[in-house]
């Protein structure tokens, strides 16, 4: 019994030892390419989804955000709210934003973009807008006659919404904010581009500038964005909600909106591409094993003639296919994480919505490695089973 158990492994080892080494290594390389193809597409789509999610968090909402209660226009007592939020474990920054009730004009062009009044120092802790300045600089406390505008407002060549923009406003030029009954001129201090169209369709002034224009808004906010670190627990939203702030608390996922639909579309495409990739891997492995078995038909016939059972020969080829799969997965893993991932970390995919890198979760990696294993075993089993069903004499004579 023990001999019958060991014999398939012995035969598989002989196939490898006596076969052509370049064929063996080429087969493993092809297996690694098939595996890399599976995880590359998955990690690319996951990277795009992860990139868009980070865009929402880093440019728009933070990890959590607070809006006024139903029927209210503002969150009252924003200073007290900020102090309370800062006491929650895991919170690294909070920024109150007040929407400015004004229209903006530049030369003879007018528009109704979202204009927000902020504390620049608080905003730096919540969003990355300060790091995305393409010209000029970010606001500083006391910039009461300065404004920064997004790329989609400034406009210019290759801007996606140039038709509805200022069509080339520059740093140092003047824009006018028109309120009910009066107007105020601001100098463009900077232009930012986050590569997120909705974020780049906003403008910012300081809270102190808004207070001078509308003193009644001193302690009001339209939204409060909250940034957390990795130590924030799942009940952070509950903790913030329990602070007694006059507003409704949401997680960033609830603000994803259209991007959530885009992410779901990418997941569907990823699933389809994965199935196609598995089929391609299955066909590749099947052809490799089938060609190998065809070339060894005479040897298989002789083995059967001397009394070795067909199931032992079939199992030996299943083992051989498993060896190809395991070696291919190992080589593919090394190439992917040592060469491909670092390359795209240094040179991300430049997309209109984000710069995407490759992101591969452990579950995705394990699932695709298992898929390659099972596909290999089945692809080794089928041709071996078909070949051992031929007559022994026909196999020996190669007919």
| Per-residue pLDDT reduced to its tens digit, 17-56 | 766 777 778 888 888 888 888 888 888 888 888 888 888 8
Q: Report residue 302's pLDDT band, with 50, 70 and 90 as the boundaries.
A: confident
Residues 160 and 207 both lie in one domain: yes
Q: Is residue 254 part of a domain?
A: no
Over residues 332-343, mean pLDDT: 92
Nearest in space to 78 (alpha carbons), one of 116, 111, 52, 50: 116
Query: Is the pLDDT at 122 greater than 80, yes or no?
Result: yes
**pLDDT averaged over the chain?**
83
What does the angle CA 26 – CA 28 – CA 33 come to, to the nearest 5 degrees? 95
Query: Is the pLDDT at 395 greater than 60, yes or no?
Result: no
Q: What is the 3-state secondary structure (H, E, C) of the chain?
A: CHHHHHHHHHHHHHHHHHCCHHHHHHHHHHHHHHHHHHHHHHHHHHHHHHHHHHHHHHHHHECEEEECCCCCCCEECHHHHHHHHCCCCCEEEEEEEEECCCEEEECCEEECCEEEEECHHHHHHHCCHHHCEEEECCCCCCCCCEEEEEHHHHCCCCCCCHHHCCCCCCCCCEEEEECCCCEEEEEEEEEECCCCCCHHHEEEEEHHHHHHHCHHHCCEECEEEEEECCCCCCCHHHHHHCCCCCCEEEEHHHHCCHHHHHHHHHHHHHHHHHHHHHHHHHHHHHHHHHHHHHHCHHHHHHHHHCCCCHHHHHHHHHHHHHHHHHHHHHHHHHHHHHHHHHHHHHCCEECCCCEECCCCCHHHHHHHHHHHHHHHHHHHHHHHHHHCCCCHHHHHHCC
Query: Is the pLDDT at 280 greater than 60, yes or no?
Result: yes
Phi, psi of 144, rounded to the nearest 5 degrees: -80, -10
Q: Report residue 94's pLDDT band, with 50, 70 and 90 as the boundaries.
A: very high
Phi, psi of 101, rounded to the nearest 5 degrees: -80, 70
Q: Report residue 276's pLDDT band, with 50, 70 and 90 as the boundaries.
A: confident
Q: Is residue 63 part of a domain?
A: no
> Where do we find the tokens 């099947």?
286
The better pLDDT of the pair 15, 238 is held by 238
Query: Is the pLDDT at 320 greater than 90, yes or no?
Result: no
Q: Is residue 77 part of a domain?
A: yes
Q: Is residue 251 part of a domain?
A: no
Which range marks the domain in which residue 170 is found? 69-246
Assigned token pair, 97: 């934003």
Q: Report residue 391's pLDDT band, with 50, 70 and 90 as the boundaries.
A: low
Residues 120 and 240 both lie in one domain: yes
Structure confidence at residue 115 (pLDDT): 94
Over residues 84-97, mean pLDDT: 91
Q: Report residue 99's pLDDT band, with 50, 70 and 90 as the boundaries.
A: very high
Residues 350 and 238 both lie in one domain: no
Query: Is the pLDDT at 396 greater than 60, yes or no?
Result: no
Over residues 261-285, mean pLDDT: 76
Residues 104 and 175 both lie in one domain: yes
**Residue 197 CA neighbour count, 13 Å, CB half:** 12
Q: Report residue 118's pLDDT band, with 50, 70 and 90 as the boundaries.
A: very high
pTM (two decimals): 0.75
Residues 275 and 362 both lie in one domain: yes
Nearest in space to 211 (alpha carbons), one of 144, 149, 148: 144
**Residue 300 CA neighbour count, 13 Å, CB half:** 30
The better pLDDT of the pair 176, 319 is held by 176
**Residue 123 CA neighbour count, 13 Å, CB half:** 24
In Å, what is the CA distance from 303 to each residue of 8, 127, 226, 255?
12, 70, 71, 67
Query: Is the pLDDT at 154 greater than 70, yes or no?
Result: yes
Of 246, 273, 307, the residue at which a domain comes to its end is 246
Query: Is the pLDDT at 257 greater than 80, yes or no?
Result: no
**Within 10 Å of residue 359's Cβ, how many Cβ atoms?**
17
Report the C-alpha gap between 96 and 226 in whole angstroms: 9
Residues 91 and 224 both lie in one domain: yes
Q: Is residue 166 part of a domain?
A: yes
High-pLDDT (> 90) share of the chain, %: 30
Structure confidence at residue 263 (pLDDT): 67
Report the C-alpha gap between 205 and 188 in whole angstroms: 10
Structure confidence at residue 8 (pLDDT): 65
Reported as a single tens digit per residue, the pLDDT across 178-220 is 987 788 999 999 999 998 888 899 999 999 999 998 888 888 8
Residues 295 and 381 both lie in one domain: yes
Residues 265 and 310 both lie in one domain: yes
Structure confidence at residue 125 (pLDDT): 93
High-pLDDT (> 70) share of the chain, %: 86
Residues 234 and 343 both lie in one domain: no
Residues 285 and 158 both lie in one domain: no
Over residues 102-123, mean pLDDT: 92
Tally the domains of the chain: 2
Q: Is residue 62 part of a domain?
A: no
Of 246, 272, 307, the residue at which a domain comes to its end is 246
Residues 82 and 217 both lie in one domain: yes
Q: Report residue 105's pLDDT band, with 50, 70 and 90 as the boundaries.
A: very high
Find the farthest-apart pair of alpha carbons in the chain and give their distance in angstroms, rounded: 103
The better pLDDT of the pair 144, 264 is held by 144
In Å, what is the CA distance from 265 to each residue of 45, 59, 259, 269, 370?
10, 22, 10, 6, 25
The residues facing 95 across adjacent strands are: 225
Structure confidence at residue 286 (pLDDT): 78
Phi, psi of 63, rounded to the nearest 5 degrees: -75, -30
Query: Is the pLDDT at 399 greater than 90, yes or no?
Result: no
Residues 154 and 232 both lie in one domain: yes
């Amino acid at each position: 019994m023990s001999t019958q158990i060991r014999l398939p492994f012995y035969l598989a080892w002989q196939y490898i030892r006596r076969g052509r080494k370049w064929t063996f290594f080429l087969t493993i390389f092809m297996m690694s390419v098939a595996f890399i193809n599976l995880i590359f597409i998955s990690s690319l789509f996951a990277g795009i989804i992860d990139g868009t999610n980070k865009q929402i968090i880093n440019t728009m909402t933070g990890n959590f955000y607070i809006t006024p209660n139903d029927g209210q226009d503002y969150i009252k007592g924003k200073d007290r709210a900020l102090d309370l939020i800062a006491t929650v474990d895991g919170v690294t920054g909070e920024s109150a934003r007040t929407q400015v009730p004004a229209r903006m004009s530049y030369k003879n062009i007018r528009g109704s973009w979202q204009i927000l009044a902020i504390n620049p120092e608080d905003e730096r802790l919540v969003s990355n807008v300060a790091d995305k300045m393409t010209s000029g600089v970010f606001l500083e406390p006391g910039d009461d006659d300065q404004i920064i505008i997004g790329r989609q407002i400034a406009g210019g060549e290759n801007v996606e919404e140039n038709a509805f923009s200022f069509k080339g406003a520059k740093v140092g030029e003047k824009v006018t904010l028109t309120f009910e009954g009066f107007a105020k001129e601001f100098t463009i201090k900077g232009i930012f581009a986050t590569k997120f169209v909705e974020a780049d369709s906003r403008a910012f002034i300081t809270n102190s500038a808004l207070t001078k224009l509308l003193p009644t808004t001193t302690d009001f906010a339209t939204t409060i964005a909250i940034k957390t670190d990795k130590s924030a627990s799942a009940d952070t939203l509950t903790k913030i909600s329990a602070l007694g702030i006059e507003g409704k608390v949401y997680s960033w996922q609830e603000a994803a909106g259209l991007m959530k639909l885009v992410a779901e579309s990418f997941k569907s495409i990823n699933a389809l591409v994965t199935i196609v990739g598995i089929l391609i891997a299955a066909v590749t492995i099947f052809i490799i094993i089938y060609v190998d078995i065809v070339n060894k038909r005479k040897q298989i016939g002789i083995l059967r003639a001397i009394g070795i059972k067909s199931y032992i020969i079939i199992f030996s080829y299943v083992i051989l296919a498993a060896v190809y799969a395991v070696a291919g997965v190992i080589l593919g893993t090394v190439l992917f994480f040592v060469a491909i991932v670092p390359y795209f970390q240094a040179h991300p995919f430049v997309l209109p919505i984000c710069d995407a890198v490759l992101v591969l979760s452990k579950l995705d990696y394990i699932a695709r490695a298992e898929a390659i294993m099972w596909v290999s075993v089945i692809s080794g089993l089928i041709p071996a089973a078909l070949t051992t069903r031929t007559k022994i004499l026909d196999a020996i004579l190669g007919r």
